[in-house]
Structure 1
Amino acid sequence: MLAAGGSLVLLAAVLAFATARPRGLPEATVALPAAGIVLLLGWVPPADAGHQALTILPTLGFLAAILLLAHLADLDGVFTWLGARLARACRGRPRRLLVLTFAAAAGTTAVLSLDATVVLLTPVVFATAKRLELPPRPHLYACAHLSNSASTLLPVSNLTNLLAFSASGLSFAGFTALMALPWLVTIAIELGVFFRFFARDLTGEAGAPAGEIPPTPVFALVVLAVTLAGFGVAPLMHVEPVVVAAIAAVVLAARALSARRVRVPTLIAEANPLLCLFVLGLAVVVEAVSRHLLGEPLRALLPDTPGLPQLLLTAGVAAVLANLVNNLPATLLLLSVLGPHPAPGILLAVLLGVNLGPNATYLGSLATLLWRRVLLGQGESPRWRDFLRLGTLTVPTTLAASTAALWLALQLK
């Protein structure tokens, strides 16, 4: 009983601190001591914690590499160029700008992960709408929603996917093939809801010209394209995605360093090693919660066969859990419960739940909380009622439709 209650309290403390980040302190500030308490009290054997750490180290290495790659791409002007292209291509029409924003956010999330969409694309989209004198709300909320819902396509699109990928038994191409239809269905439903929800903001035309388009960052775009291709080809040569991402980051970093546009301490900071330590600490605390509190009830609830009702149940449980404890702990908890060799369909349904579910509340995803911070830094205050209403309209529909699409993809496999 002490282990169950104590581990739950520690998890709540870790998540509360990561959400609030008082005085800008890193998320690991509480996560690492909490993990230490769990180990000291014997709630998780050190040998098991060490094994789990070794298992997710490649995933954390990839996370660091992709964060650095996104920063270096931004340094090369990729997102500024993209914003200018969006402004020109929309021809002053807000509905067209929303469609283009959806495409840019979906592509950025899929290739460079949801953090790039939140931290790098969102300010660009905001500046683009302001430059055109268009209401920015639809386009900003699109970045928030697609940072979560468009992160189901590739194993590299979200840390949740990376954590589950090795357990799925699927190849990079196999994972993508199964998730492509759910991804497209989700984006189509989101776009339709956005058109109706923001109808008043999507009338009229731009009040200002688009402005000039900066030079195309050819080198960075080529590196990103080769990197994406490398993610698909590397498994065929038994090369981990982390190696591909690291090589791409080194190439762009070397170019930036030689041009003296960045310094080594900045590169280390952008790789965010403290975030990686946070995930390690969180994993240990979640393992304690799984062992002593939620593991058995979830094992009894979750199915092990990928029929349509079973997939819907799995996705629904994962979505609810993500909004209760945040999607990253929810993923770690469900992976612990499912064991080392779950049915791939069940595992992919879990990912639909933990990736789409967080659009229901601010607390469902760290990316959503970060998006809110980014907007506040831009002088824009998002309306929590709008976020909740949008979530009510989109999450149940996208979750059910994408899960049905996943079931169909599994039948056609």
Structure 2
Amino acid sequence: MTHDLGSLVEVVGFLVAMTVLGRACADEGLFDAWGGAVARVSRDPRRLGVAAGLLAAGTTVVLTLDATVVLLTPVLLAAGLGRRGSLLSVRLANSASTLLPISNLTNLLAVAATGWTFLEFARVMLPVWVVAVVAEIAIVTWWCRRDPAPAPPSGPVPATPLVPAGVVIAVLCGLAAGEKPWIVATAGAVLMAAHAVAIRATTWRDLLAAANLPLAVVVVVWGWVVTLVAGTPAGDWITDLLPHGTTWAALVGIALISMVTANVINNLPATLLLLPAAAATGPIGVAALLVGVNVGANLTAVGSLANLLWRGAGGRATVRWAEFHRLGLLTTPLLVVLGASVLWAWSFVAV
């Protein structure tokens, strides 16, 4: 339990650091520049949604899913994408977070149990990520097919600020080199925050508010409570439900049970609870767990913290919870089965 709680504290520290890094980058105009670049290469309004979805997926991979819902959602709404942009932001924040160990805190908790390096993790999860991203963009495009087309972009496109782009690249290189994620992220956050404050793009008070330390404390406490439950007969009963083995049925079963658990207690504590049992089946079992807790987080509002953060970042103005849940119930279980199936097929090549 102590190891799990210590790991949780580290990954929450990583979240706080990446949130500050993302906020400083946003205040210096990085997300506005990315949004403007998407608009420029997608003059056809029909293609703008696809480009926005790819931007949401890329932001999730590089800066974590929380940066996507908090910082990119307002940019997509400002670009006139409305409900389509809002749904792309939140759904791809979850489904596109399977690619790198840093893309989701659940990945950071689980990557050590796989024994994979940063790049090996990405190699195994790449087909799952591609299928999830393509499927989510297609689903949201169909769901919003009767929405009015966004207006063509106007005005000059902001230039990409060099310092934020350079810091983000440096952080990625440090993480790929195998350094501790929370240390690399903290170094990047301090550097980026100091620069943003120095040029008066933001203030220390704004960055401290963006860190959302009370939420970080809640996540750690809730994770601690779950680790206590994991040591009880109730915890044993839940983990005993996970199938053993790496057959197609076993991996799909692990993913679906993980999805349900994540939508009952949230995906971060669900990972803590189910990880030992999934790890007993091998690294592919852990990967199936991540498909369930990441892609499956789109099922309900409580599936991930990103869903709740998205609501406060503009989601409530465009999408009601009833619609969010209706879309989630219709599509998310199928996407989880699809992701686990792709993982099973790819495992014969990649592992």
TM over 0.5: yes
Mapping of 1:55-70 within 5 angstroms?
A: 55-70=7-22
Q: Does 1:122 align with 2:61?
A: no
Match of 1:77 among 16, 24, 29: 29
Larger deviation, residues 139-148 vs 381-390: 381-390
Deviation at 1:412, TM superposition (A): 0.7
> 1:151 matched to which residue of 2?
97
Structure 2 match to 1:390: 327
User: Residue 199 of structure 1 aligns with which residue?
Assistant: 145
State how 1:8-407 maps to structure 2 within 5 Å: 48=1, 50-93=2-45, 95-129=46-80, 136-201=82-147, 206=151, 209-232=153-176, 234-235=177-178, 239-335=179-275, 337-338=277-278, 343-375=282-314, 380-407=317-344
Compute the displacement of 1:202 (Å). Answer: 5.8
Rate the CA distance shift 1:55–1:81 in 2: closer, same or farther, 3 A: closer
What SS does structure 1 have at the residue aligned with 2:172?
Answer: helix
Contact kept? 1:67, 1:271, Cα under 8 Å: yes
What is the CA–CA distance in structure 1 between the aligned matches of 2:3 and 2:283, rounded to whole Å? 23
- 1:338 Cα shift? 4.6
Q: Which has the larger radius of gyration?
A: 1
Coordinate RMSD, CA, aligned: 2.2
Separation in 2 of the partners of 1:193 and 1:267?
A: 35
- State the number of aligned residues: 350
Deviation track 1:124-143 (CA, whole Å, cap 9, x = no partner) reads 100111xxxxx611111111
Contact 1:360 1:392 in 2 (8 A): yes
CA distance in 2, matches of 1:215, 1:83: 11
Q: SS of 1:345's equivalent?
A: helix
Change in Cα spacing, 1:136 to 1:257, as seen in structure 2 (3 Å) is: closer
More moved, 210-219 vs 314-323: 210-219
Q: Which runs of 4+ in 1 moved over 6 A?
A: none
User: Structure 1 residues 140 and 295 mapped into 2: Cα distance closer, same or farther (>3 Å)?
Assistant: same
1:275-331 alpha-carbon deviations (Å, 9 max, x no partner): 332222112210222222432223322133222111000000001111222222212
**What's the secondary structure of 2:79's corresponding residue?**
helix
1:287 and 1:68 map into 2 onto residues whose CA distance is 28
Structure 2 Cα separation of the partners of residues 104 and 212 of structure 1 = 19
Tell me the secondary structure at the aligned position of residue 160 of structure 2. coil
Q: 1:232-262: CA deviations, max 9, x gaps?
A: 1x22xxx212222222222212212332444
Q: Which runs of 5+ in 1 are unaligned?
A: 1-47, 130-134
Q: TM-score, normalised by structure 1?
A: 0.79
